[in-house]
Amino acid sequence: MTKKWVLSILAVLAIVLFWVGQPLYAVERQQIQLVYATFDPLLDGEPAMAANLTAVSSTPYALLQLTGPMQPAWADEFVALGVSFHGYLPEFTYLVRLAEGSDTAVANHSAVRWLGAYHPAYKMSPTLADGRLLVQLFADADLGEMETAVSLTGASLLEQNQTADLLIVQATTGQAAKIAALDGVMWLQNAVQMQELNDDARWVSQGNIPFTTPLYDRGLTGAGQVGGVGDSGLSVYDFGSGTVPSCFFLDDGNGGAGGTAVAPGVNHRKVVGYTIPEGAIADMVDGSGHGSHVVGSIVGDQAPWGELS
């Protein structure tokens, strides 16, 4: 055998051995971006975490990563399987609650790239310290049960906000870890001292120069006009959900003197329309408060007192 043939055979063997060592297809990196960590669950696995901050197998809350953007048909199929959606995380990942016994069917859905636990470690701010803590609950958590469970950790319950699904507690970091391990808890962070920065919102949307109102100065008050907003919602009416309407948007039909709440529509003094677009995953409650804040910024506030409403 000549030297030329030997070199040719060795070259072919090298190519064959190279391809044998390669996967049949390349897995495209698709990360889940959390405050705790950024990771690709297929390529990296889950991030390291303390044993007491690892979810137990029975927890119903999970991270559901899809192969791509959510499709309306997929959403319907997931809901039919008992999936409740609680938020979105990059990339193509949803924070969900799974119906009991549905995890296998959900994981086997053709659109699912990965299904994994929402660990207590993911719920805690990296700067969390002893003191006053905000405990954000899932919207489907029972507030009374959560108050009891949080108290059993040794933390002191200071306040609760049913509309925002929020508890404020006094706790140590050790107690916070126990709170994070409760199924109904979505997020934990230290409570900050609130400081009003845009309580007078009219100038913010009229040029953003403090305390100047160039639109009003030119006679543009918004009278007779309707502002449209697409956001997290408004807590404006019960809609049969037990929601307590926000005083900012409530119309009692009696000029604020007390009466039966008016549903949003042409007869409502403030909200002439409120709907969920077809195919959207949403409800008629502003769980985060963001939509209420944006609407307030757009339509302004009442100061000088009595001039605007």
Phi then psi for 164, rounded to 5 degrees? -95, 0
In a domain, residue 3? The reply is no
- Give the pLDDT score at 295: 83
Instruction: Tell me whether residue 228 is in a domain.
Output: yes
Q: How many domains is the chain partitioned into structurally?
A: 3
Average pLDDT over residues 50-72: 94
* Adjacency order of strands within the sheet including 83-89: 83-89, 93-98, 61-66, 112-117
Residue 2 lies in a domain: no
Out of 85, 119, 153, pick the residue that ends a domain: 119
pLDDT tens-digit readout, 286-298: 777 788 888 877 7
Quick check: 13 pLDDT over 60?
no
- Quote the percentage of the chain above a pLDDT of 70: 83
Structure tokens at 207: 């040029």
Q: Token pair of 222, please?
A: 């918004």
pTM of this prediction?
Answer: 0.61
Is 170 a domain residue? Answer: yes
Q: Is the pLDDT of residue 123 over 80?
A: yes
Indicate whether 213 pLDDT > 70.
yes
Q: Are residues 205 and 298 in the same domain?
A: yes
Q: Are 66 and 52 in contact (CB under 8 A)?
A: no
Spatial CA neighbour of 249 closest among 289, 292, 216, 291: 292
**Same-domain status, 47 and 72:** yes
Q: Which domain holds residue 85?
A: 32-119
Cα dihedral sign for 150, 151, 157, 159? Answer: positive
Q: Based on the fold, state whether residues 242 and 270 are members of the same structural domain.
A: yes
Contact 220, 177 (CB under 8 A): no
CA atoms of 109 and 103, how far apart (whole Å): 10
State pLDDT tens for residues 14-36.
Answer: 433 444 444 444 668 999 999 99
pLDDT at 298: 76
Residue 143: which CATH number?
3.30.70.80
Residues 129 and 72 in one domain: no
Res. 241: pLDDT tops 90: no
Length of the chain: 309
Could you tell me if residue 21 is inside a domain? no
Q: Which helix (H) or strand (E) holds 78?
A: helix 72-80
* 202: nearest Cα among 216, 188, 189: 216
| Mean pLDDT (whole number) for 223-246 | 77
165-174, 185-194, 215-224: segment of lowest average pLDDT: 215-224
Classify burial at 6, counting beta carbons within 10 Å of its beta carbon; exposed 0-12, middle 13-18, buried 19 or more: exposed
CA geometry: angle at 240 spanning 78 and 302, to 5°?
110
pLDDT tens per residue, range 87-98? 999 999 999 999
Residue 240 pLDDT: 65
Residue 7 lies in a domain: no
Same domain, 209 and 309: yes
Q: What is the pLDDT of residue 300?
A: 62
Q: Which of these ranges, 47-51, 137-141, 294-298, has the smallest mean pLDDT?
A: 294-298
Domain final residue pick, 119, 148, 166:
119
Q: Does residue 266 sit in the same domain as residue 243?
A: yes
- Residues 93 and 168 placed together within one structural domain of the fold: no
Is 229 in the same domain as 282?
Answer: yes
Q: Are residues 131 and 202 in the same domain?
A: no
- From 190, 213, 247, the end of a domain falls on 190
pLDDT at 106 over 90: yes
In a domain, 13, yes or no: no
Secondary structure of residue 133 in the 3-state scheme: strand
Query: Is the pLDDT at 147 greater than 90, yes or no?
Result: yes
pLDDT at 112 over 60: yes
Residues 111 and 205 both lie in one domain: no
In this structure, are 289 and 208 located in the same domain?
A: yes
Residue 186: what pLDDT? 97
The CA R_g of the chain, rounded to the nearest whole Å, is: 26
Q: Is the pLDDT of residue 204 over 80?
A: no
Q: What percent of the chain has pLDDT over 90?
A: 51
What does the pLDDT average to over 210-228? 84
Asked, for residue 26, whether it belongs to a domain, the answer is no
- For residues 213 and 303, state if they share a domain: yes
